[in-house]
Amino acid sequence: MPVAQYLIFSQPGKLQDGREVAVKRLYEHNYKRVTQFMNEIEILTRLRHHNLVTLYGCTSRLSRELLLVYEYIPNGTVADHIHGDRAKDRPLVWSIRMSIAIETACALTYLHASDIIHRDVKTNNILLDNNFCVKVADFGLSRLFPNDVTHVSTAPQGTPGYVDPEYHQCYQLTDKSDVYSFGVVLIELISSMKAVDISRHRHEINLANLAINRIQRRAFNELIDTSLGFESDSSIERMTTMVAEVAFRCLQLEKEMRPTMEEVLRALKEIQDSKDENTVYVIENAEVLKSTRPPPSPEGDNIVLLKNGKELPSPDAVTDRWVSSSSTSISSG
């Protein structure tokens, strides 16, 4: 597990104009930590989006103490609310979880359009205000991504359970690495399970592995948190199942098989707006298409055939690839 880099004061401070702030203090002075501190400043001063935490100010890199001053977000993290201390008091209902998924996807889509890869997407880095609106935080590992390259070669960093396996194996960071991490977040939102849990079976310690297995077997009842209304509300059953399918695409091992964040955002909005119980939204050829689910076959829903006779990796998946038009890369440390 990564070593803590910062101390964040638990009580908010207040500026002269009345704004409440959170102060983040770097307490380990070494080159790597200072570099991440400066990186976070550089990234956040470029960005303005309602679903990203706002940086109000900072100290100089030459100061004895390195401080970042953020807007104060009072309602904890998504992790707190779905499997942490706050989950017992007031569990998040499905409508709020769906909004969290969409707002987080909106923030990541904005980052990618700004040529920035977050590199540490996880529920602990998704903050919530008192209205449960999303504020994505922690840009210490984020990278500016030149628009004329397909990947950056760099040593893998991030949080276990969320790191793109292709990035981990090949040291190639792309925007699809964030897509993979967001897929894990989607599974957390529908399952209320932790991304890593050593109490689970050894092949399912990573939530991504557990989810892929359940979705391939269409065992959604073993994945989706029943307290959300999965068994009692047909619309919630449909929506959570479709979100699971979107997550499945995000969790593909090959990055070319994953959608972009823009495509994921579009799919999630379509799911939220869907009314027809016979309609399912799928990602195909970089577009979100509306298709009618066929009636169950006599053999049940576990068998689905492609036009070319191959079995799909996921029940509702389509044969699609997103292939980069360029093979240019850049290396860095």
Q: Residues at the annotated binding site for Mg(2+)? A: 125, 138
> Which positions are annotated as active-site residues?
120
Q: With contact defined as beta carbons under 8 Å apart, do 173 and 109 qualify?
A: no
CA 157 to CA 125: how far, in whole Å?
15
Task: For residue 24, list its beta bridge partners.
Answer: 8, 68
Q: Tokens for 23?
A: 């102060």
CA 39 to CA 253: how far, in whole Å?
29
The angle formed by the CA atoms of residues 87, 93 and 95, to the nearest 5 degrees, is 140
Tell me if residue 29 falls in helix, strand or coil. coil
Residues placed in the known binding site: 125, 138
Cβ-defined contacts of 200-207 (< 8 Å, 24+)? 206/160, 206/161, 207/161
CA 315 to CA 247: how far, in whole Å?
13
| 107: nearest Cα among 93, 91, 127, 124 | 127
